[in-house]
Amino acid sequence: MIDLRSDTVTRPSAGMLAAMTSAPLGDDVYGEDPTVTELEETVAGLLGHEAGLFTVTGSLANILGVRALVAPGSEVLCEASAHIARAELGAHAAISGITTRTWSAPGGQIDLDQIRALIAPDLGPYFVTTSAVSVENTHNFGGGTIQTAYDALADELDALGMPLHLDGARLWNASVASGVPMSAFGSRAAAASVCLSKGLGAPVGSVLVGSAELIREARVWRKRLGAGWRQAGVLAGAGLYAIRNNVERLAEDHAHAREIAEILADAAPGSVKPDQVDTNIVVADLAATGKTVASVVAAAKAEGVLVGGVGVTQLRLVTHLDASAEACRTAAETIARLLH
Ligand SMILES: *Cc1c(COP(=O)(O)O)cnc(C)c1O
């Protein structure tokens, strides 16, 4: 099977497993796991922040990061297909009492005009207060897109004194593809999360970064939600290995995604624009092909290729370190044949 459903499907390599089994361990609830502490400090440093918090998922890092910036009964703004709005199962409302209003833009991009029109910092006692804006970079369901107006939005929010939350699950991909250092993105946000379990290939884990005070509070809430953990260095060791070995190679995944997009664009013109594939995600719109996502997913599976749907007409292929150039080409040619 060639599995391009997500970059979360990777298995730890021999080198990563060795790093996990040799990691020094302690009880992290007591703050005594040296490997967890090293991971948290490493990621905080990379993103230009004072402190970090290792979490079991990116969703938890986002739940903790957003709630640190947005009080119950107030709102966060985000793009309509943002992970925090679509894929965290209402956690920000169900757990934190936070409401959401959204803008909608091609590729999940920042749209400054729409955001300006949505921001309601204090309209009196009849309107929900906007407490933060959340941006996803790269944007997952937007097709792995890099935000082009990231700094412009950060400048405007700075001027308003409104905090930016960065869902940087795939910020590594944005950084490698653009050449912009992680810190240049991270330092613009009051709270930012990155995933270790996506393209970096670790089995588990994300890190939330922010000020020392924000992370102190997030650590309390992590424990309150039942997600404190003990000798978690066995997992943090995988994260450190991933950061040291698997970041630069993301460029290979980006090249593979571009090639997949070119093959699909040839087979189904207009379904995807290869020059808009910034990183490791290809979202192809099947609307004009007359095929349904479900039928293409099933037919591809029968031919040994796993892909996923992210919308009624949208097929998603994600490249990663366990899918070679040849496997990606085979997958694309299989889908192309099915679309033809
Ligand atoms: C994967 C992902 C997350 C976190 O997902 P978990 O499965 O909870 O680790 C958050 N944001 C985006 C954009 C993602 O793609």
Atom 4 of ligand 1, residue of closest alpha carbon: 58
DSSP state of 108: G
- Asked if the structure places residue 166 within a domain, the reply is yes
Atom 14 of ligand 1, residue of closest alpha carbon: 169
CATH number for 289: 3.90.1150.10
Ligand 1 centroid distance, CA of 232 (Å):
20
Domains held by the chain: number: 2
Give the pairing of strands 191-195 and 164-168: parallel
Ligand 1 centroid distance, CA of 84 (Å):
8
pLDDT value for 340: 83
Ramachandran area for residue 215 (φ above 0: left; ψ -120 to 50: alpha; else beta): alpha
Q: How far apart are CA 169 and CA 65, in angstroms?
A: 13
pLDDT value for 267: 95
Ligand 1 centroid distance, CA of 122 (Å):
31
Regions of the chain short of the pLDDT cut 70: none
- Asked if the structure places residue 238 within a domain, the reply is yes
Pick the last residue of a domain from 245, 265, 284: 245
The CA distances from residue 86 to 82, 90, 172, 192, 332, in Å, are 6, 8, 22, 18, 27
Decide: 319 and 6 in contact? Cβ < 8 Å: no
Ligand 1 centroid distance, CA of 278 (Å):
18
Ligand 1 centroid distance, CA of 312 (Å):
20
Residues 222, 306 share a domain? no
Which ranges in the chain belong to alpha helices (H)? Answer: 14-21, 34-46, 58-69, 83-86, 91-94, 112-118, 150-160, 171-178, 182-186, 212-224, 233-245, 250-267, 293-302, 325-339
Range of the domain at 292: 249-339
Residues 334, 223 share a domain? no
pLDDT value for 122: 87
Angle at which helices 250-267 and 171-178 pack, to 10 degrees?
A: 90
pLDDT value for 311: 86
Pick the last residue of a domain from 245, 271, 296: 245
Query: What residue ranges line ligand 1, CB within 6 angstroms?
Result: 57-59, 62, 83, 136, 140, 167, 169, 195, 198, 206
- Asked if the structure places residue 325 within a domain, the reply is yes
Give the pairing of strands 99-103 and 206-210: unpaired
Residues 290, 326 share a domain? yes
